[in-house]
Structure 1
Amino acid sequence: MTGYVMFRKDRLGRRGGGVILYIKESIQAYEIKLEKEAECEEAVWCNIVTGNSTLTVGLVYRSPNISMEENEKIHNAIKEVSKRDCIIMGDFNHGHIQWTSLQSTGREDQEFLKLVQDSFLSQHVLEATRGENVLDIVLSSQKEFVDNVKICEPLGCSDHNQIHFIIKVKAERNRKIRYRKNFHKGRYKDMRNI
């Protein structure tokens, strides 16, 4: 997409899939790698420069038939990233969590809900994103980071609704270096003698 920097991680060994995150090219951002035990197959992480600090932004896809090992890596990634200012978003496929009452059924959903609570993360999506379920969520380390969450119609042939929201953090803009000639320091007398 023109005007954006792309961060992506393709699904390995199969056609299609993976995650892709676009950030405006005017915002300073760079991709980061997490610890080996937190390096997920389908997740991408980057830091956005925000004045004197950074905001870690992550995009995660958690398959409904995920292996225990990969599920543990996602949990480790959330634990690692939640220790700093962060926004984590994606399709986590935890459809049995009632985010308004913070209740869940099923062992995996309960473990995930406990992880979110123990990591002191706020979950901002309270309406269904696919059918009757809230599968796509936005987590943040500070509630004020995310504002104006709207659930919109699916894009293209997707069966998931879009989530629009505002990140309320002042990011540093990329500064383009301009070189200008300093004409008032020219040695014009010497040039005339040539």
Structure 2
Amino acid sequence: MEGHRLFRKDRQGRRGGDITLYVNGQLECMELHLGMDEEMTKSFWVRIKGRAGTGDTTVGVCYRPLNQEDRVDEALHRWIGAASQSQALVLMGDFSHPNIYWKDNTAGLKHSRRFLECVDDGFLRQVIQEPMRRGAMLDLVLTNKEGLVGNVKLKGSRGCSDHEIMKFKILRAVRRVHSKLTTLEFRRADFSLFRDLLGRVPTISWSASKEV
């Protein structure tokens, strides 16, 4: 796509499962590396620099096969946990957890319950509300900031794919908040004066007795 920067990760030895992301060429961005074993799964992470006065946005793209091994799932969960520390995160892709009921946040299988725990630990919310693939919700959009993702629409499938196209907007990251919290510098404290003032506090002596 002309005028865009391409990020991609191809699945070796098998057809399908490739993931790509195009970023507008006018935006400053860079790929992030969150772990040593990042080749285990089909995912990548890109940081898009915000304009003056706004924070950066981390965008993740993921493809998770239905029969993915537990050790690979755990690696993905670690990366999600690391990415959720970003000021603004949008994570999208096919996660292959058809048995998750997002309305009540429950799942029937162990690996799906573990994924829900990962989502809860990262304080992420899932913004897709309608099932998109034969009544199942496999394609997800997760974010850690209220109002960051909006105008979510389903646009039908393309070609012979049984996935529906998701169209949504990533809104500008909120302005950075400068904390006005005051912290005390104890290294500059006058402890001799403190001890002197404490010594002037009257001491009250008391005793108690108990009759049997």
Q: TM-score, normalised by structure 1?
A: 0.82
Deviation sequence 1:12-32 (CA, Å, 0-9, x none): 233443211111112111111
Structure 1 distance, partners of 2:137, 2:153, is 13
Deviation at 1:40, TM superposition (A): 4.3
Identify which of 76, 79, 100 aligns with 2:78.
76
Q: Give % identity.
A: 35
| Aligned Cα root-mean-square deviation (Å) | 1.7
Structure 1 distance, partners of 2:119, 2:66, is 18
Which residue does the alignment assign to 2:152?
149
Identify which of 50, 58, 61 aligns with 2:60.
58
Contact 1:40 1:77 in 2 (8 A): no
Deviation at 1:86, TM superposition (A): 0.9
Deviation sequence 1:100-144 (CA, Å, 0-9, x none): 221221111111112111110011011111111000000011021
Deviation at 1:50, TM superposition (A): 0.7
Which residue does the alignment assign to 1:32?
32
**Greater mean deviation of Cα atoms: 51-60 or 90-99:** 51-60
Structure 1 counterpart SS, 2:23:
strand
Contact 1:5 1:22 in 2 (8 A): yes
Question: Highest relative contact order (Cα 8 Å, sep 6+), 1 or 2?
Answer: 1
Which residue does the alignment assign to 1:4?
4
Structure 2 distance, partners of 1:119, 1:86, is 10
Contact 1:38 1:76 in 2 (8 A): no
Structure 2 distance, partners of 1:170, 1:94, is 29
Deviation at 1:165, TM superposition (A): 0.7
Structure 1: runs of 5 or more not aligned: 172-194
**Greater mean deviation of Cα atoms: 15-24 or 32-41:** 32-41
**For the structure 1 residues 170 and 27, does the alpha-carbon distance in structure 2 shift closer, same or farther, using more than 3 Å as the test?**
farther
**Greater mean deviation of Cα atoms: 98-107 or 75-84:** 98-107
Residue 139 in 1 paired to residue 136 in 2? no
Structure 2 distance, partners of 1:12, 1:103, is 33
Structure 1 distance, partners of 2:78, 2:37, is 7
Which residue does the alignment assign to 2:18?
18
Which residue does the alignment assign to 1:43?
43
Deviation sequence 1:43-62 (CA, Å, 0-9, x none): 12110001353211010000
Residue 118 in 1 paired to residue 121 in 2? yes
Deviation at 1:37, TM superposition (A): 4.4
Structure 2 distance, partners of 1:156, 1:69, is 34
Structure 2 counterpart SS, 1:70:
helix
Deviation at 1:39, TM superposition (A): 5.1
Q: TM-score, normalised by structure 2?
A: 0.76
Structure 2 distance, partners of 1:15, 1:134, is 22
